[in-house]
């Protein structure tokens, strides 16, 4: 079952936690790629100098200022893409960066795109997962409830995964940023081997 509009209407740090265990799905003609979200980061509009929207709206960060539950994709370091879920009220630029997925379906396609066999290295980082899932700028600023890229509830895909233990969430500081480094806005599933970096 897909997330509904009300599922995205949460304070951004809460949404970042709630997205853990949910499934990101990219449905194309040839394949259905599915990954379970195991690591996220929240980026806030106020008092968060690491947030792209901290200094106001620009051409790039415009999706962050729109309604919650849409995509914000951008190019990083000239070679990778990062995928975010927009959050917060309209006019307040916030988002949740998806940092790692546990590959669930379409693993052959992911491996081919990544040029790697080890399943643990397919989606264990924000640039890796967009490459594996085939996410690029054409998927920017799209509705995540109705488009080919969508997010599904934690109890989805029971036929594809082993029964889940109760989900324990850890919070740490965020990775790869130079400002706002002390805020505990990174969230990950405890003991999950598919995160970008253990807690």
| CA atoms of 72 and 121, how far apart (whole Å) | 23
Smallest distance from DNA to CB 163, Å: 29
Q: Is 188 in the site for DNA (CB under 7 A)?
A: no
Task: Identify which range of 11-19, 79-87, 104-112, 186-194 contacts DNA by CB under 7 A.
Answer: 79-87
What does the per-residue mask of binding to DNA show for 112-141, with x meaning CB under 7 A?
--x-x----x---xxxxx------------
Q: Is 58 in the site for DNA (CB under 7 A)?
A: yes
Q: Is 82 in the site for DNA (CB under 7 A)?
A: yes
| CA atoms of 75 and 77, how far apart (whole Å) | 7
**Cα angle at 148 between 26 and 3, to 5 degrees?**
85
What does the per-residue mask of binding to DNA show for 36-55, with x meaning CB under 7 A?
-----x-x------xxxx-x
Q: Is 95 in the site for DNA (CB under 7 A)?
A: yes
| CA atoms of 149 and 151, how far apart (whole Å) | 7
Q: Is 68 in the site for DNA (CB under 7 A)?
A: no
Q: Where are the beta strands (DSSP E) in the chain?
A: 23-27, 32-43, 71-76, 80-86, 95-105, 149-152, 169-172, 186-189
Using alpha carbons, list the distances in angstroms from residue 41 to 30, 33, 36, 61, 159. Answer: 31, 22, 15, 16, 28
Residues that bind DNA (CB under 7 A): 41, 43, 50-53, 55, 58-61, 64, 72, 74-80, 82, 84, 95, 97, 114, 116, 121, 125-129, 174-179, 196
């Amino acid at each position: 079952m897909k997330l509904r509009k009300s599922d995205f209407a949460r304070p951004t740090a809460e949404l970042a936690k709630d997205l853990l265990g949910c499934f990101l799905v990219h449905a194309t003609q040839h394949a259905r790629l599915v990954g379970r979200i195991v690591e996220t980061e929240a980026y806030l509009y106020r008092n968060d100098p690491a947030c792209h929207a901290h200094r106001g709206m620009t051409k790039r960060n415009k999706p962050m200022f729109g309604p919650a539950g849409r995509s914000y994709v951008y190019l990083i370091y000239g070679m990778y893409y990062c995928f975010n879920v927009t959050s917060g009220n309209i006019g307040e630029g916030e988002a949740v960066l998806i940092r790692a997925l546990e590959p669930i379906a379409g693993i052959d396609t992911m491996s081919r795109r990544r040029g790697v066999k080890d399943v643990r290295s397919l989606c264990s980082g924000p640039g890796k997962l967009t490459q594996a899932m085939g996410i690029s700028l054409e998927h920017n600023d799209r509705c995540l409830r109705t488009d080919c890229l969508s997010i599904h509830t934690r109890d989805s895909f029971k036929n594809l995964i082993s029964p889940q233990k109760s989900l324990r969430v850890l919070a740490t500081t965020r990775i790869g940023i130079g400002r706002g480094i002390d805020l505990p806005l990174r969230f990950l599933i405890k003991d999950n081997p598919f995160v970008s970096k253990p807690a």
